[in-house]
């Protein structure tokens, strides 16, 4: 089953908002096994909407139009559908009641403009709006189902959930469903990963393999279509094994896992707490570790040691170290990690010192990074060189620190 | 001049990401006086891309294609353009050098896949990628300009800024130019701002007024079209004055200003340094303050006091305060701010304590926030109640703290 999503709204073409309705509907329809053929965005223009409807009807079983159902003159989506197929617009009794009750409850009277929101094309089935006033509708022309939904995301999502989803479930008679599993990798780039998996990607069928490049990470989404859940799971398992053979050393988790959540889980598993001492990242690592609710059982606390003075006073870094090795050094990272571990009486101390740029510091170029880890098992400093501008280096440094924490907590 | 934006990528049709590139480009092109005719999203499918190219060429002077320029097999945007107009793909010397140098610097050799990113259609002008590897290109077929840009937003935006914008400016031969000024507001919502400016917005002409809702902030972009710079500036001044009369109390800066940069400037102006004590934000405020290069002359350092123990030991919060008032309290915020100011011998101490959620804490609902400020002028606690999920509350809390710092540094 193919579907096209047509979003109507000049504000989209002006770039005032992104087409998040298109994203939401794509996710939902994909989940129901519907193949999304295309997204189209057109302005509040009757002829353009009609043209989009005409083109979409040629290729699709379902055409969803979003937006243009409001009360104003330039809300013309329903008119476009009506004119295209020579239909009348009529008031729907229940929707009209809904509009009139809304204004009555506020001691007002619905205007003609407001009452337009209860218009639907004759022969269509009305979709109730549980959040706002504009009614939606489903209309079948030849072999194509047209679904008209309101533009405001809350109204659209509410109507989709309560009115459209049941229709889709009922229409899916093949009992085929899609099952997905996302594999998450860190420490390998998108093209290097794809090179290792080249044969699997080229010869993919069912399941499919979709590489997704995220920020500093790569994911692979495996998707299988089947009618039996156990069978589907086992197909995914087989494919995952083949992928693991080629690049399992970079796999750190699945689906909703993040480097942070995995690092915290590992530490929690060992009953360890961690304290952070940040120079170059200025709080990014601590902020990342505490993004996850319930981090307080693992995260002991932190020091932002942006200046040498702080490194000495709060973390007991030796003045001699700062003088001979400098603040951006392996020795300083080691002492910072040990220092913060003592300060917070935690099992693990982690430190970051380096250069975020744009300028060199102590003769080191931007991207220079030392991550110190002090734990009951080991005290170690990881030297890294990161690419990117200031913001990227800081973000990547915090991520790299999480990856180091993951190793400290145990084997990947 | 009409333009269509074709975004290529199966991940868009699956709803994994929203078409934010379409939004970005619409905004930029609109700013250059280009009319956006349509957005189209198609999958990584050669025939569908060709079909989209063919249709778009009929209606548009400019067709921008985004995405599908990566190194992998399913990156076929450049192939689609080449096949549609029967052109060869050739390596561009400078782009190829760029790819090879990238891998050489890492002690690696570029693979054939990587080298594909330096391919362009013969006869096109290559657009340099200053952030990533894929080169872009501009190709003219009959009366339509095709512009191919990479999909990753940072690469696309960098290429647009440095390579495409100058072409658009040069193409504008009327000697009319656009001059913009962005006014930045904090503490007022978009609809409240628009209500105050209703008459100005409704009767706008030249200059235009475009409200831009950002994250927790609102901006107004004033744009004037003129042939004389002084005249243009004075038109913007007049409009800004009218806006200031209605909501000047929320205006904090212009264009590239951020709440953080303004807060740091104010403190720097008074010769003050600030130290931070963060509980609920877990490092967000410190990370924000140090996002700006050169913050170290103003930012003294910080303590992430996520646990009561840390609040006592590192910040000298009294055990009695934690017992009677609790950690989420005005008294605790006050003691934290005073404590961190003493620890770091800074002129200003700022503290954040509150509840990020999802659960209540000490009987307070998520969103509860106390910001303590201790300065030579004043010691004060600001109580706030923020809306949103955990991540939103943490982000807004850090922003709210910056707004408080701005006030401490002097009058807005």
A222-269: pLDDT as tens digits: 988 888 889 999 999 999 999 999 999 999 999 889 999 999 999 999
Contact residues on chain A for B284, CB-CB shorter than 8 A: 283, 287
Q: What is the pLDDT of residue B411?
A: 52
Instruction: Give which of B304, B327, B398 to mutate to test A binding, by max A Cβ within 10 Å.
Output: B304
A411: pLDDT strictly greater than 60:
no
- Name the region of B188 (left: φ>0; alpha: ψ -120 to 50; beta: rest): beta
* Close Cβ partners of A228 (under 8 Å, ≥ 6 residues apart): none
Contact residues on chain B for A54, CB-CB shorter than 8 A: none
B265: pLDDT strictly greater than 90:
yes
Contact residues on chain B for A39, CB-CB shorter than 8 A: 7, 12-13, 19, 39-41
Q: What is the pLDDT of residue B172?
A: 67
Mean pLDDT of A209-226: 85
Residues 324-353, chain B, touching A (beta carbon < 8 A): 343-344
Peptide bond into A207 cis (omega under 30): yes
Kindly report the nearest CA distance between residue A227 and chain B, in angstroms.
21
Q: Which of A158-172, A260-274, B41-55, B59-73 has the lowest mean pLDDT?
A: A158-172
Mean pLDDT of B32-54: 94
Q: Which residue of A has its CA nearest to B299?
A: A306
B235: pLDDT strictly greater than 70:
yes
Q: What is the pLDDT of residue B264?
A: 94
- Residue B333, judged by CB atoms within 10 A of its CB (0-12, 13-18, 19+), counts as buried
B174 falls in which pLDDT band (50, 70, 90)?
Answer: low
The domain B2-171 is placed in CATH, from the list 1.10.1530.10, 3.40.50.720, 3.50.40.10, 3.40.980.10, at: 3.40.980.10
CA dihedral A238, A243, A245, A247 (to 10 degrees): -160
A273: DSSP letter = -
Which CB contacts under 8 angstroms, 24+ apart, belong to A84-87? Answer: A84/A50, A84/A53, A84/A54, A85/A121, A85/A139, A85/A141, A87/A121, A87/A122, A87/A123
B404: pLDDT strictly greater than 80:
yes
Contact residues on chain B for A291, CB-CB shorter than 8 A: 282, 390-391, 394
Q: Report the alpha-carbon distance of residue B334 to residue A257 in Å, rounded.
A: 37
Kindly report the number of other CB atoms within 10 A of residue B279's CB atom. 30
Mean pLDDT of A202-211: 84
Fold of B178-254: Alpha-Beta Plaits (3.30.70)
A408: pLDDT strictly greater than 60:
yes
Q: Do B11 and A359 touch (CB under 8 A)?
A: no
Q: Is any Cβ of chain A less than 8 angstroms from the Cβ of B287? A: yes
Q: Is any Cβ of chain A less than 8 angstroms from the Cβ of B16? A: yes
A40 falls in which pLDDT band (50, 70, 90)?
Answer: very high
Instruction: Give which of A290, A298, A401 to mutate to test B binding, by max B Cβ within 10 Å.
Output: A290
Q: Is any Cβ of chain A less than 8 angstroms from the Cβ of B107? A: no
Q: What is the pLDDT of residue A378?
A: 85
Homologous superfamily of the A259-408 domain (CATH): CinA-like (3.90.950.20)
Residue range(s) in chain A whose domain bears CATH number 3.30.70.2860: 178-254
Residue range(s) in chain A whose domain bears CATH number 3.40.980.10: 2-171
Q: Is any Cβ of chain A less than 8 angstroms from the Cβ of B111? A: yes
Q: Report the alpha-carbon distance of residue B111 to residue B101 in Å, rounded.
A: 12
Q: Is any Cβ of chain B less than 8 angstroms from the Cβ of A102? A: no
A35: pLDDT strictly greater than 80:
yes
CB pairs under 8 A between A and B: 231
**Cβ pair A26, A170 in contact under 8 A:** no
Residues 202-241, chain A, touching B (beta carbon < 8 A): 202, 210-213, 221
Partners of residue A300 on adjacent β-strands: none
Q: Do B291 and A391 touch (CB under 8 A)?
A: yes
Q: What is the pLDDT of residue B157?
A: 95
**Cβ pair B358, B389 in contact under 8 A:** yes
Half-sphere exposure of A108 (CA within 13 A, CB side): 8
Q: What is the pLDDT of residue B173?
A: 66
A81: pLDDT strictly greater than 90:
yes
Residue range(s) in chain B whose domain bears CATH number 3.90.950.20: 259-408
Q: What is the pLDDT of residue B39?
A: 98
Q: Is any Cβ of chain A less than 8 angstroms from the Cβ of B82? A: no
Q: Do B26 and A19 touch (CB under 8 A)?
A: no
A76: pLDDT strictly greater than 70:
yes
Q: Is any Cβ of chain B less than 8 angstroms from the Cβ of A58? A: no
Q: Is any Cβ of chain A less than 8 angstroms from the Cβ of B307? A: yes
Kindly report the number of other CB atoms within 10 A of residue B324's CB atom. 10
Q: Do B11 and A212 touch (CB under 8 A)?
A: yes
Q: Which residue of B has its CA nearest to A26?
A: B15
Nearest to B283 among A30, A195, A290 (CB): A290
**Cβ pair A13, B38 in contact under 8 A:** yes
A3: pLDDT strictly greater than 50:
yes
Q: Is any Cβ of chain A less than 8 angstroms from the Cβ of B317? A: no
Q: What percent of chain B has pLDDT over 70?
A: 98
B377 falls in which pLDDT band (50, 70, 90)?
Answer: confident
B211: pLDDT strictly greater than 90:
no
Q: Do B15 and A38 touch (CB under 8 A)?
A: no
Q: What is the pLDDT of residue A52?
A: 97
Return the H-helix or E-strand segment holding A350.
strand A348-354
Q: What is the pLDDT of residue B17?
A: 86
- Residue A59, judged by CB atoms within 10 A of its CB (0-12, 13-18, 19+), counts as middle
Nearest to A15 among B30, B285, B288 (CB): B30
Q: Nearest 5 degrees, angle CA A84-CA A89-CA A92?
A: 140
Instruction: Give which of A283, A312, A356 to mutate to test B binding, by max B Cβ within 10 Å.
Output: A283
Report in angstroms the alpha-carbon separations of A355 from A16, B123, B297, B343: 37, 43, 16, 25
Residues 368-397, chain B, touching A (beta carbon < 8 A): 390-391, 394
Mean pLDDT of B232-259: 95
A6: pLDDT strictly greater than 80:
yes
- CA nearest to B336, candidates B365, B300, B310: B310
Contact residues on chain A for B11, CB-CB shorter than 8 A: 210, 212
A412 falls in which pLDDT band (50, 70, 90)?
Answer: very low
Return the H-helix or E-strand segment holding B94.
helix B93-105
Q: What percent of chain A has pLDDT over 70?
A: 98
Nearest to B286 among A24, A291, A304 (CB): A304
Q: What is the pTM of this model?
A: 0.74
Q: Is any Cβ of chain B less than 8 angstroms from the Cβ of A289? A: yes
B175: pLDDT strictly greater than 60:
yes
B143 falls in which pLDDT band (50, 70, 90)?
Answer: very high
pLDDT in tens, A112-151: 888 999 999 999 999 999 888 899 999 999 999 999 999 9
Instruction: Give which of B302, B339, B349 to mutate to test A binding, by max A Cβ within 10 Å.
Output: B302
Residues 112-171, chain B, touching A (beta carbon < 8 A): 113-114, 152
A279: pLDDT strictly greater than 80:
yes
Mean per-residue pLDDT over chain A, rounded:
92
Nearest to A296 among B113, B289, B306 (CB): B306
Contact residues on chain A for B357, CB-CB shorter than 8 A: 293
A170: pLDDT strictly greater than 90:
no
Q: What is the pLDDT of residue A131?
A: 83
B250 or A210, greater pLDDT: B250
Mean pLDDT of B196-207: 85
B397: pLDDT strictly greater than 60:
yes
- Tokens of residue A24, six digits: 């939401």
Q: What is the pLDDT of residue A410?
A: 66
Question: Tokens 């170059």, residue?
Answer: A280
């Amino acid at each position: 089953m193919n579907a096209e999503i047509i979003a109507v709204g000049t504000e989209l073409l002006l770039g005032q908002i992104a087409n998040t309705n298109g994203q939401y509907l794509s996710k939902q329809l994909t989940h129901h096994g519907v193949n999304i053929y295309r997204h189209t965005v057109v302005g509040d223009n009757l002829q353009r909407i009609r043209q989009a409807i005409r083109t979409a009807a040629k290729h699709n079983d379902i055409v969803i139009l979003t937006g243009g159902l409001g009360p104003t003159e330039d809300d013309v989506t329903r008119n476009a559908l009506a004119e295209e197929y020579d239909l009348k617009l009529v008031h729907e009794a229940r929707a009209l009641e809904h509009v009139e009750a809304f204004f009555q409850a506020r001691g007002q009277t619905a205007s003609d403009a407001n009452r337009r929101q209860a218009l639907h094309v004759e022969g269509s089935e009305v979709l109730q709006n549980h959040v706002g006033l504009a009614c939606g509708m489903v209309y079948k022309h030849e072999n194509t189902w047209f679904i008209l939904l309101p533009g405001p995301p809350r109204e659209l999502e509410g109507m989709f959930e309560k009115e459209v989803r049941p229709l889709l479930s009922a229409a899916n008679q093949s009992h085929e469903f899609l099952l997905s599993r996302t594999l998450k990798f860190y420490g390998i780039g998108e093209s290097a990963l794809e090179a290792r998996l080249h044969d699997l990607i080229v010869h993919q069928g069912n399941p499919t393999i979709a590489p997704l490049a995220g920020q500093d990470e790569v994911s692979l989404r495996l998707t299988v279509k089947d009618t039996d859940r156990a069978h589907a799971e086992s197909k995914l398992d087989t494919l995952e094994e083949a992928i693991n053979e080629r690049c399992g050393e970079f796999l750190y988790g699945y689906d909703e896992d993040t480097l942070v959540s995995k690092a915290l889980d590992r530490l929690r598993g060992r009953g360890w707490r961690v304290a952070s001492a940040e120079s170059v990242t200025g709080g990014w690592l601590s902020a990342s570790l505490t993004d996850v609710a319930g981090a307080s059982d693992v995260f002991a606390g932190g020091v932002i040691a942006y200046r040498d003075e702080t490194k000495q006073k709060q973390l007991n870094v030796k003045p001699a170290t700062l003088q001979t090795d400098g603040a951006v050094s392996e020795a300083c990272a080691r002492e910072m990690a040990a220092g913060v571990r003592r300060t917070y009486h935690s099992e693990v101390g982690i430190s970051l010192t380096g250069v975020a740029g744009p300028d060199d510091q102590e003769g080191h170029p931007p991207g220079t990074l030392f991550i110190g880890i002090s734990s009951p098992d080991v005290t170690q400093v990881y030297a890294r060189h990161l690419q990117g501008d200031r913001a990227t280096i800081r973000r990547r440094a915090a991520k790299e620190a999480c990856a180091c924490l993951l190793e400290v907590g145990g084997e990947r």
